Amino acid sequence: MDQNKKGIVPTMIDAAAKATIETHPVRRNISVLEGSGGNIAVLTGKDGKLLIDAGFTVSKPRLTEALKKLSSDPITQLINTHWHTDHTDGNAWVHDAGAAITAHKNTKKHLSTSTRVEGWQWTFPPAPAGALPTTTFDDEHRVHHNQTNIALKYYGPAHTDSDISVVFEEADVVQVGDTWWNGIYPFIDYSTGGSIGGTIRAAERNLSMVTGNTIVIPGHGPVGNKAGLVEFRDMLVAIRNNVAALKKQGKSLEETIAAKPTAKYDVKFGQFLITPVFFTTLVYSGV
Ligand SMILES: [Zn+2]
């Protein structure tokens, strides 16, 4: 599919409309559902299911079925890792199914109004009332659910200005949202406060939060661990440095792209939505 002609947002929705939802058990009562935009973590138990992110609305029938297979508990809580549509488009139906929604205050801010994402060449209308978070926070927030302590913490501006980490403390599992794309170049949303510098700072913080035993759930890509976070951080820093050096020499964006500052990493990281040319463009605008 040619995403450049079609646009990234329709490409993501079409992919979700066709995708099978895969369920990956993670640890204890935590699983990940993959196939509807961003990864969705699910904590099951007698208090009802707690979801981290809601994917795309087009996946509702397949997500509903996958959730039923995990357990018969109703959905009672939803936490958004950030405001982007591939993580929040499903908020309205998940709320209708019974979930209260928690997120960073900037997630609510962006969902409440018409928001343009230049990098996607797309303007999102305000979300319906039921899709809006009803509990918001600024820096930190704690949730106790299904005998699990869950710590939410704001990254500061990173991939957007609304990103939070979600730590399941007893399980030693952390969901880091779109501050980590496992094995793929990340999108960076400059329109709502993201930057390459903020993305690198978040990657460093992720490393400071985990041990070799921690299971890490990325926003996109397979569930991973500390080694994957190190590789991602090193890739970001190397490409940032390469692009910054070229820009400092006075090279235009076109000349910088032609110099292939991502070449060493393209085989591994350049195989998804964010192509080497697009990632170079995103880094160039932030150095
Ligand atoms: Zn995102």
Q: What's the pLDDT tens digit per position in 26-85?
A: 999 999 999 999 999 999 999 999 999 999 999 999 999 999 999 999 999 999 999 999
pLDDT for the residue 1 = 40
Q: Place 273 in a pLDDT band, splitting at 50, 70 and 90.
A: confident
How far does the centroid of ligand 1 lie from the alpha carbon of residue 259, in Å? 28
Q: Is the predicted pLDDT of residue 3 greater than 90, yes or no?
A: no
How far does the centroid of ligand 1 lie from the alpha carbon of residue 87, in Å? 7
pLDDT for the residue 2 = 44
Which residues are within 8 A (CB) of 44 and not within 5 positions of it... i.e. 6 or more apart? 29, 31, 70, 71, 73, 146
Nearest to 192 by CA among 272, 127, 123, 89: 123
pLDDT for the residue 287 = 97
How far does the centroid of ligand 1 lie from the alpha carbon of residue 84, in Å? 5
pLDDT for the residue 143 = 98
How far does the centroid of ligand 1 lie from the alpha carbon of residue 160, in Å? 7
Range scoring the smallest mean pLDDT among 7-16, 160-169, 226-235, 254-263: 7-16
For the CA atoms of 54, 268, 233, 239, the dihedral, rounded to the nearest 10 degrees, stands at -120
How far does the centroid of ligand 1 lie from the alpha carbon of residue 159, in Å? 7
